[in-house]
């Protein structure tokens, strides 16, 4: 089934699904059609290009984190496979 999604900039590496989506559903993006590899809940991110461990995750034309593992296009992107250092305070002894 075709699902709605939002991608702000054509160079973003992720899109956000605008409705609960199931494995096998597709989304259309500025980078082409992507088939979901797993269930993705409303407002969560999906890789629209293959991402490698350490790659920047780009959303809204901004880096929002980095990949903790490889993820092919269609993978749900969230805290289980994406790291983020924003808001972390370095504690100095």
**What's residue 16's pLDDT?**
97
pTM: predicted TM-score of the whole model, two decimal places: 0.90
| 7 vs 92, higher pLDDT | 7
pLDDT class for 85, splitting at 50, 70, 90? confident
Mean pLDDT of 42-61: 97
* % residues pLDDT > 90 (the chain): 90
What DSSP letter does each residue of 2-58 carry, written as one string?
EE-EE-SSTT-SEEEESS-B-TT-EEEETTEEEE-SS-B-TT-EEESS-B-TTPEEE
Domains and CATH numbers, the chain: 2-83 (2.30.130.110)
Mean pLDDT of 18-29: 97
């Amino acid at each position: 089934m075709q699902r709605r999604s939002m991608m702000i900039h054509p160079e973003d590496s992720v899109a956000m699904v605008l409705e609960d989506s199931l494995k096998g559903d597709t989304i259309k993006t500025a980078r082409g059609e992507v088939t979901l590899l797993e269930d993705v809940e409303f407002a969560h991110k999906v890789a629209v290009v293959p991402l490698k461990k350490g790659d920047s995750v780009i959303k809204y034309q901004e880096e929002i984190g980095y990949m903790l593992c490889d993820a092919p296009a269609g993978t749900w992107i969230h805290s289980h496979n994406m790291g983020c250092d924003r808001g972390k305070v370095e504690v100095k002894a």
